[in-house]
Copies of this chain bind each other. A is one copy, B any other.
Amino acid sequence: MVTNPVQIPEQQIPEQQISDQRLLKGARARATIARRAADVASVEGLTGLSLGRLAADLGVSKSGVATLFGTKENLQLAAVQSAREVFIEAVILPALTAPRGMPRLRALIENWFVYIGAPVLPGGCFRSQCVSEFDSRPGPVRDALAADRADWFAVLEKEIRRAQEQGALSGLDPHALAFQLDAIMTAANSAARMGDSSGLPTARAIVTALVGAAG
């Protein structure tokens, strides 16, 4: 249960504290709008985002959204960042409790399957959706998506290398295996979104053949 915070009349708060509270309120509003932008973009793509549409969805003024983000491109960048945080929280952080190497790689993959099968964002895997959408459009949004993709590959490759140090997955190129896993999971996400119910079990069989059964 969250209790309502005690309301303090503004004139009793020192100036620095008012400024901090305003910053905090702005940061919260920014995070709420960015998350909503990620939800919308996961279904309709980053191209479909607009400051006015998000303001209407959230029942706030368009000028308020414009003050926080300025341009559509800034809003797109905030959506990428917000979706990245959702993925880290759902897929990466819970896997860090598994021992390094093969167990953690399998935990990452298992969390990833759960993430695709019961997506946190309504349109499924944001990276799958938006990398394809922006891959031919150079600029800050594509750069942010490419950096996020590179970070995710680095996470996978690190655990693959550790698994190899433990004697598993021998003879495989870590980058090629990460590429293959990402390709299969992206295709599984798309198949699942399109209503092809064979997509997830097919992907699971392929991934199990690549890295063994999870668990």
Bitwise, A40-84 to B at CB < 8 A (1) or not (0) is 001111011000000000000000000000000000000000000
How many identical chains are in the complex? 2
Alpha-carbon separation in the docked complex, A16 to B196 (Å): 47
Which residues of chain B are within 8 angstroms of A42 by Cβ–Cβ distance? 136
Q: Does A205 contact B (CB under 8 A)?
A: yes
| Residues B129 and A194 in contact, CB atoms below 8 Å apart | no
Alpha-carbon separation in the docked complex, A137 to B182 (Å): 23
Alpha-carbon separation in the docked complex, A67 to B179 (Å): 46
Alpha-carbon separation in the docked complex, A122 to B138 (Å): 13
| Residues B193 and A206 in contact, CB atoms below 8 Å apart | no
Q: Does A114 contact B (CB under 8 A)?
A: no
| Residues B124 and A190 in contact, CB atoms below 8 Å apart | no
| Residues A136 and B184 in contact, CB atoms below 8 Å apart | no
| Residues A183 and B187 in contact, CB atoms below 8 Å apart | yes
Q: Does A160 contact B (CB under 8 A)?
A: no
Alpha-carbon separation in the docked complex, A17 to B157 (Å): 66
Contact of A135 among B194, B198, B205 (CB under 8 A): B194
Which residues of chain B are within 8 angstroms of A196 by Cβ–Cβ distance? 146
List of 4 A-B pairs having minimum Cβ-Cβ separation, nearest first: A183-B187, A135-B193, A132-B132, A123-B136
Q: In the complex, given contacts A124-B135, A145-B194, A182-B187, what are 19 additional A-B residue pairs having Cβ atoms less than 8 angstroms apart? A: A44-B47, A44-B137, A45-B47, A45-B133, A47-B47, A47-B48, A123-B135, A128-B132, A129-B133, A131-B190, A135-B194, A136-B193, A138-B195, A176-B205, A179-B187, A179-B199, A183-B183, A183-B184, A183-B186
